[in-house]
Amino acid sequence: MSHSVPNAVVVRVPGKVNLQLSVGPKESDGFHGVVTVFQAISLFDDVTISRTEIGSGISVKISGDQSHGVPADETNLAVKAALIMCDTYDLPADLLIDIKKTIPVAGGMAGGSADAAATILALDHLYTLGLSRDEMHAVASKIGSDVPFLLGGGTAVGRGRGDEVTSALSRGTYHWVLALSSVGLSTPAVYNEIDRLREGLVVAPPHANEYLLQALLSSDSVAVGRALSNDLQAAACSLRPALRLILDVGEEYGALGSIISGSGPTVAFLVSDEEHALDLAVALTSSGVIGTVTRASGPVPGARVVEVR
Ligand code: ATP
């Protein structure tokens, strides 16, 4: 039996929304402990990794609707992931990374982290490493706090920096309408703003919202809508006051819940079904306060190989 060695691997990877994002006090190293409930949703990037000539190094090609502002150098999180993988497993760092982006950039949907997760899985297949889940997680958590979650996807609770991931039981499908902004928000700037808003306050350590987890377990989208919470929302709205108007439009048109995803500025509206999603999308578009509206559903699986050639 002959084993052909793949020349290229294509991995599809989703973005995420945070159904809960609770931010603890600032720690001595400047970071914050969080408890978050992630849901992977059906907006995907496709990352294709091909072998290239020996000595050619790593190059990056970016295409797709959301390619604006994505770096094509070693600051790209996919390149960072490739370099760590090559270093850890002694692989030849001669690769072309082709990223087709659909996940909004700097939108609080972890698009860069998604591409890093896709790269880890693609290299595992390209070089037939057969890494375990734990081995891939170990590389993932070196890159960023959202990367481990995007390897597995689905619904999960993230603790620590968000990188200590435990999967959570969730039944049913959740439908989302997403209001995208053309200008992103920087995650560090939003954390600085929450520190400023909390100055002088005693901040309790974060806990998972049991009411939310129970609602997910019983497929109760009305209860999930009520339980959505994000401690970064006030900070994102303080930096970008127009986000409040967008959140209000969703409420006015009967969304089950409205929330800023991660550090924003994407606003995610939970709706009851696809028809409701379409109605809200039309209302948001005609309100004039939003640039782009898109729809997605979740949970979906994390990074997966869709083609080997
Ligand atoms: P998070 O939800 O994890 O805070 P985000 O969705 O707000 O992330 P990203 O889309 O991951 O933000 O990108 C944030 C910044 O990271 C971008 O502005 C860009 O400069 C840089 N970046 C690095 N690699 C990538 C990538 N592969 N895709 C998108 N942005 C990337």
The rounded Å distance from CA 17 to ligand 1 centre is: 14
Q: What pLDDT is attached to residue 1?
A: 44
Backbone angles phi, psi at 182, to 5 degrees: -75, -25
Q: Judge if 141 and 215 occupy the same domain.
A: no
16 catalytic, yes or no?
yes
Domain count across the chain:
2
Q: Judge if 142 and 254 occupy the same domain.
A: no
Write out pLDDT tens, residues 30-73: 899 999 999 999 999 999 999 999 999 999 999 998 888 899 99
First-to-last alpha carbon distance for the chain, in angstroms, is 18
Measured distance CA(205)–CA(302) in Å, rounded: 29
Alpha carbon 149 to its chain centroid, in Å, reads: 8
Contact call for residues 140 and 149 (beta carbons, < 8 A): no
Q: Judge if 114 and 229 occupy the same domain.
A: no
Measured distance CA(114)–CA(46) in Å, rounded: 10
Which of the four pLDDT bands, split at 50, 70 and 90, describes residue 3?
A: low
Write out pLDDT tens, residues 184-242: 899 999 999 999 999 999 999 999 999 999 999 999 999 999 999 999 999 999 999 99
Q: Judge if 196 and 84 occupy the same domain.
A: no
Residue nearest to atom 4 of ligand 1 (CA): 108
Determine which one of 98, 115, 146, 163 is catalytic.
146
Mean pLDDT of the chain: 94
Residue nearest to atom 23 of ligand 1 (CA): 76
Contact call for residues 255 and 271 (beta carbons, < 8 A): yes
Residue nearest to atom 25 of ligand 1 (CA): 112
pTM score = 0.95
Q: Judge if 273 and 303 occupy the same domain.
A: no
Residue 18 lies in a domain: yes
146 catalytic, yes or no?
yes
pLDDT of 15 higher than 60? yes
Q: What pLDDT is attached to residue 2?
A: 44
Measured distance CA(293)–CA(306) in Å, rounded: 27
Q: What pLDDT is attached to residue 296?
A: 96
Q: Judge if 287 and 303 occupy the same domain.
A: no
Question: Residues 142-160: what's their mean pLDDT?
Answer: 97
Q: Judge if 180 and 233 occupy the same domain.
A: yes
Residue 1 lies in a domain: no
Q: Judge if 210 and 159 occupy the same domain.
A: no
Structural domain boundaries enclosing 214:
174-297
The rounded Å distance from CA 75 to ligand 1 centre is: 10
CATH of the domain at 276: 3.30.70.890
Q: Judge if 260 and 153 occupy the same domain.
A: no
The rounded Å distance from CA 201 to ligand 1 centre is: 30
The rounded Å distance from CA 115 to ligand 1 centre is: 9
Determine which one of 16, 80, 100, 101 is catalytic.
16
Question: Residues 165-188: what's their mean pLDDT?
Answer: 93
